[in-house]
Amino acid sequence: MGQRILITGTSRFLGGMLAKRLESDPDVETIIGVDTDPPLFEFERVEIVRADIRNPLFVKVLQATGVDTVVHANVVTDELEIGRGLMKEVNVIGSMQVLAACQKADTLRRVVVRSSTEVYGSEPDTAAFFTEEMGPETSAKSGYHRDVLEVEQYARDFGRRRPDVSLCVLRYANILGNTVNNPMSLYLGQPVVPTLLGFDPRIQFIHEDDAVEVLVHAAKSDAQGIFNVAADDAVYLSQAIRLAGRIQVPLLPPSPALAAQILRVLPFVQVPLNLVRYLAFGRVSDNTRLKTVFEYEPRYTVLDAIHDFALKKRAERIKPEPAEQQWEDDLRRFIDRKLAEAADAGPGMSHSTHGDRPGGHPDG
C-alpha cells in the first residue's frame, strides 16, 4: 500500500505546489487536499475536501480518509490579506484543531508543520545566524510573530503526546521567486520601495522551487525535528532592492514602533506590519541542519531568488497591445484576406466582399 497524504492549504502556494508534485509520485497512493477556498491548480489525482480546519469536525476527515501523513501548510503570512482577526483564527485556532485531530488519528505516522524563521524575531542585538537550538524569541512584536510562536508550541505539545508519530517543523525564510506572492514579494514589487531611515539590514530568502522541494522531501522522508529552510547566503536590503530593479526611498522614520503607526494611515505604502522590524534589523538563519540532518542542499542562492523575481517584474511591465489596436489589426487582416480571395476568384466575384466593411463585430 502506498503513502496516504493529507495537505491543508491547497489554495495557497506551498500546499498547492506540494499536491501537484505528489500527483506524479507512484509511491503516493492517496492525496487529500483540505481548504475552504478553491485549489490553486487543477488536479488529476488530488481529492479536494472543502472543510474548515478551525472546525472540530476536522478530526472526522482524518478518520474517514485513514491517512498516514499530514502536511499542515495552511498558514497566512500577511495580515493585510484577510485582516488580523481572521489571520489569527486560521493560523492559531486552525493549527490547534489540526494537531488535536492528528492526536486522535490512529493511522497517523508522520506530521509536517510549516513554520517561519519569524520565531527568532528581529532585534537590534540579533544574532548573526540563528540556529534551531537557539529557540524562539518569546516576546512577540507582531501578530504573525505571535502566531508562529503559538503554532510551534502546539506542535511541541503534540510531539509529547504522540511520540509514535514523527514530527517535522519547517522554519521557512521569506520565499521569493517568479510565481509566489507574499508580503516580501509585494513589498519588493513596489515601483518605489520604502525603507527605514538609517537602516540597511541583512536579509535572507529561499527560492520558491527549493521551498516546494523541501516540503516534498519532508512529506516523504523520516527526518524529525526543527529545520531552518533558507539559502546559504544573505544580502543587504539595499542590495535586494537594487537587484530587483526597484528604487529605494527612506520614507519611514528610524523607529520600528513609529513606522508601524505611520503605516496604518498610509494606504499607498504596502508594508505589512510584521515586516517592519525585519526591515530594520533583519534576520539570517543557519541551514546546516537542513543540509546534514534533513539531507537537502538548496539548489538556488539568495541572488538566484532575487534574479527570478526581477525577471517576473520585468515581464509584468511588458504591456499587451490595447484591445482597440488588436481588433483593428484583426479586422485589417480579415479584409485583406477577403480581397485576396476575391481577386483569385476572378472579376465576377469581386463584389462578394462588398458586405465585409469595417464596422462589423470585432470577433469577425
Q: What is the pLDDT of residue 299?
A: 96
Contact 75, 91 (CB under 8 A): yes
The mean pLDDT of 36-50, rounded to a whole number, is: 90
- Mind listing the pLDDT tens digit for each residue in 64-123? 999 999 999 999 888 777 788 899 999 999 999 999 999 999 999 999 999 999 999 888
Residue 355 above 80 pLDDT? no
Q: What is the pLDDT of residue 332?
A: 63
Q: What is the pLDDT of residue 255?
A: 83
Query: 244-248 long-range contacts, Cβ below 8 Å, gap at least 24?
Result: 244/188, 244/189, 244/193, 244/306, 244/309, 244/310, 244/313, 245/310, 245/313, 245/314, 246/188, 246/189, 246/190, 246/191, 246/192, 246/193, 247/191, 247/192, 247/193, 248/193, 248/195
Q: What is the average pLDDT value for the chain, to the nearest integer?
A: 86
Grouping H, G, I as helix, E, B as strand and the rest as coil, residue 110 is strand
Q: What is the pLDDT of residue 278?
A: 92
pLDDT band, residue 350 (cuts 50/70/90): very low
Grouping H, G, I as helix, E, B as strand and the rest as coil, residue 212 is helix
pLDDT band, residue 357 (cuts 50/70/90): very low
- Mind listing the pLDDT tens digit for each residue in 209-250? 999 999 999 999 999 999 999 999 999 999 999 999 999 988
- Mind listing the pLDDT tens digit for each residue in 267-320? 667 777 778 889 999 999 999 999 999 999 999 999 999 999 999 877 766 544
- Mind listing the pLDDT tens digit for each residue in 322-336? 444 455 566 666 667
Contact 39, 14 (CB under 8 A): no
Q: Count Cβ neighbours within 10 Å for each residue of 267-290 and write b for 16 or more, e otherwise.
A: eebbbbbbbbbbbbbbbbbbbebb
The mean pLDDT of 39-45, rounded to a whole number, is: 88
